[in-house]
Structures are given as C-alpha cells and as structure tokens.
A and B are shown apart, each in its own frame.
Chain A
Amino acid sequence: DAGITQSPRYKITETGRQVTLMCHQTWSHSYMFWYRQDLGHGLRLIYYSAAADITDKGEVPDGYVVSRSKTENFPLTLESATRSQTSVYFCASSGGVAGWADTQYFGPGTRLTVL
C-alpha cells in the first residue's frame, strides 16, 4: 500500500514486556517521527530520524528505543513497558528540504494499552 502504515493498530501488553511498534512509508521521505497522543497533552515527539542510521531524541524519549536501518522503516520499541506508556502512538514522515517545517504525513496510529 502506498503511504505510511503502522502495525499493529491495537496492542494490549503487560507491564515489563518488550513491545515493538512498526512504521513503514513508501515515499522515501528522509524524515520520520514518532509521537504519542495523550489527553491534555496533544502530540508529543518521542524520537525522530533525519535519514537512515540517524536518530535523535524528542521531547519524551525515556523508555523508548528506535532504529532506522532502512529509509522506509522506523520501528519504536518499548524495552520494558509501563502503564504510563499507555497511549496512542503516531508515526509520521516528511520529505521536504525544510525537514521539520515541511508537512508531516501521519500514519493511522497504534493504540497501546499496558496492563
């Protein structure tokens, strides 16, 4: 499918388990982002990547790990899930030279519940 996809769409896990959320885009966009959406906080940046093998922390990176070995994929791993990581997670990509300031295209989201 063209565009940006996320999997799984819904995930229930237990405290302490490792969880990986997948993100795949078909546009060959340079920039990719992970956000979490929580009531009262809007969208907060977890990690971002400017290109393959280049990643950096965002606003709320603690407890998360990312990698980007291929341009099209940007997985997000919760190494040891906690209840506070219950949230909706959005992946996004951007292809312009302005990077951040260019339009970001979002995936459909993954709703994660940590019990």
Chain B
Amino acid sequence: DQQVKQNSPSLSVQEGRISILNCDYTNSMFDYFLWYKKYPAEGPTFLISISSIKDKNEDGRFTVFLNKSAKHLSLHIVPSQPGDSAVYFCAASAGIGSRLTFGEGTQLTVNP
C-alpha cells in the first residue's frame, strides 16, 4: 500500500517558467512533510519541509503548499532553472517515532 504517491514520473518545463510537482498521501496521521532533491550518482538532499499546522512554506524559489483536506502537497519552483533538473521525492512522517515514507519520485527536466 503506497501511502505517499507521486503520480507523475516525469515533468519537463522551460527555463524561467514555473515547475509544479505534486504529491498525494493517504495516511491522515501524517503531520510533517519534506521534499528531497536527488541528482544522478548522489544521495538525496533536503530541500524544504512543512508542518501540518501550516498550509504554505517558502524558501527562495521553492514553495511547498499543503492541502490537508485533499491530502495533497505540491512543490512550486519559480523561476525554474536548468540546475533544478533532478529527481524530487516527497516524504511524510506521522511525527516523532514515526519513520519517513517516501514517494516514488518525479524526474524534473528544465530545458534552457
């Protein structure tokens, strides 16, 4: 049972435009959500997170939105840059003592 799903395996956008990566979850106990970015031949690196007490968190070009009623979160990258091309994983946790559950990942390609 995949509790965290990223339904788009890949996404291609033009440089300068907005990239929107989506993630859906089924476990209503999840209360902390993270996005990781992964380049080829490297480990994932933390990008941004959001607690369930918020519906938006912003860090520079990256904004994560959380819609608890829809059990949906999204990552917006504005403007997109070629260096953003990577695999993006969303992850969720049900709090202290609960492991992270990762989605399958979305390959983002930003074309110059």
Point out residues on A near B: beta carbons under 8 Å: 4, 35, 40-45, 48, 58-59, 90, 92, 97-101, 103-109
Could you tell me if A43 and B89 are in contact, using CB atoms closer than 8 angstroms? Answer: yes
Could you tell me if A100 and B43 are in contact, using CB atoms closer than 8 angstroms? Answer: no
Q: How many residues of B contact A (CB 8 A)?
A: 25
Point out residues on B near A: beta carbons under 8 Å: 4, 6, 32, 34, 36, 41-46, 49, 89, 91, 93, 95-100, 102-105
Could you tell me if B96 and A43 are in contact, using CB atoms closer than 8 angstroms? Answer: no
CB distance from A7 to the nearest CB of B (A): 13
Which residues on A sit within 8 Å (CB–CB) of B98? 100-101
Known: A42-B102, A42-B104. A109 touches B97 (CB 8 A): no
The 7 A-B pairs of least Cβ separation, nearest first, read A106-B43, A43-B102, A42-B102, A42-B104, A103-B46, A101-B93, A101-B32
Contact of B43 among A42, A103, A107 (CB under 8 A): A107
Closest chain B residue to A109, Cβ basis: B43
Could you tell me if A43 and B41 are in contact, using CB atoms closer than 8 angstroms? Answer: no
Known: A103-B49, A107-B43. A45 touches B99 (CB 8 A): yes
CB distance from B103 to the nearest CB of A (A): 5
